[in-house]
Structure 1
Amino acid sequence: METIILLTGNVKYNITLDPGVWIFDDRKVDLTTYFDSEKKSENLIEKYTKEVSAHWDREIKEGAIIPPTTQSEKKFKKTEILNGTFGIHFHDFLKHSSPTQDAKNLKIVTTTETVVISLQEAFDAILGFSLNGKPLKEDGPVHFYFGDGSNRHNPIKGITKFIIE
């Protein structure tokens, strides 16, 4: 099965998606809890400022002491990655492809059908790429979940290509 997916069509830049490397991406989300959690729009600058501020405060109070929990935190992260079910927001990829002004829809081409959705729905979507720590090989390489989670138990599977129209 092909593990690379193309994002083409009415875009300024064609994008090649490789789900195999997303496990290392900090933007990944845990799909077991994502659709159950409260959605709040975050201001990325505000989030960054809070994180840097907290780090700065800790440095001032404690100094640059490496906590003894570092090894157990690494082990926990590794276990989480090896057993987790993850997805990634689709909007970053769509944004980087720079859809043209007249682009209105996204055509999702699968091995069995073609599904057409609005570009706005696509911007809210999540691409699932890992199930219980394993890449989606049987019916993957990605599963397409609507942002509201309406198809969370029956995502669009077997995707081979995305075409913006």
Structure 2
Amino acid sequence: MSDIIQIKGSVQFEITLDPSTWIFDDRKVDLSTCFQDQNNLDEIQFETELYRPPTAKSEQKFQKEKILTGSFAIPLAPFLKNSEPKSSATFVSFQTNDEKITIPIHDAEKILLAFSKDGKPLKDDGPVHVYYKDGSNQHSPIKRVDGIIIS
């Protein structure tokens, strides 16, 4: 199984995604808390903090420990936007080892791609899991997703 995922199909730009790099991405969300407060998830901010508080050193240590033990996901929307789906595109399919799950393209902007569980990459049933932002499949995500096809 490859750890690389491609967004391809009816797009202007095919994009290759490497989930192993997302741990450093400020857009990541903590899966252990993101479905608890739906309002908070709706307002995910993608801006980086400009001011570092005087507790930056202890905060850095906490963040490092959190990365080593946490479970994280990243929104699919920025990657979809960068691939520039063609105007005729109406669906997004998540390709797994044995099936293809298809949803309307406007719903794909509400998808989270999980890439880490308990501080480890999703090696056995990854490279990513697909979660709906509303948490409706939080106990049974789409697993073994190895491709995203726009049609």
**TM-score scaled by structure 1?**
0.83
1:141-156 to 2 correspondence within 5 Å?
141-156=127-142
Q: Please give the root-mean-square deviation of Cα atoms over the aligned residues, in Å.
A: 2.0
In structure 2, the partner of 1:159 is: 145
Query: CA separation in 1, counterparts of 2:18 and 2:39?
Result: 27
Q: 1:107 deviation in Å? A: 1.2
Q: 1:42 deviation in Å? A: 4.3
1:121–1:147: 8 Å Cα contact kept in structure 2? Answer: no
In structure 2, the partner of 1:38 is: 38
In structure 2, the partner of 1:62 is: none
Q: 1:108 deviation in Å? A: 1.0
In structure 1, the partner of 2:72 is: 86
In structure 1, the partner of 2:10 is: 10
Q: 1:39 deviation in Å? A: 2.1
The percent of aligned pairs where both chains have the same amino acid is 48
1:108–1:115: 8 Å Cα contact kept in structure 2? Answer: yes
Matched residues, number = 149
CA deviation digits over 1:25-58, x for unaligned, max 9? 00000011111113255496xx96xx65xx4xx9
CA deviation digits over 1:81-117, x for unaligned, max 9? 0011000000000000000001000111100211111
Q: Which runs of 5 or more structure 1 residues have no equivalent in the other structure? A: 59-65
**TM-score scaled by structure 2?**
0.91
- Structure 1 or 2: more strand by fraction: 2
User: Larger Rg: 1 or 2?
Assistant: 1
* Shift >3 Å, 4+ stretches: 40-44
Residue 124 of structure 1 pairs with residue 110 of structure 2: yes
Local SS of the residue matching 2:2: coil
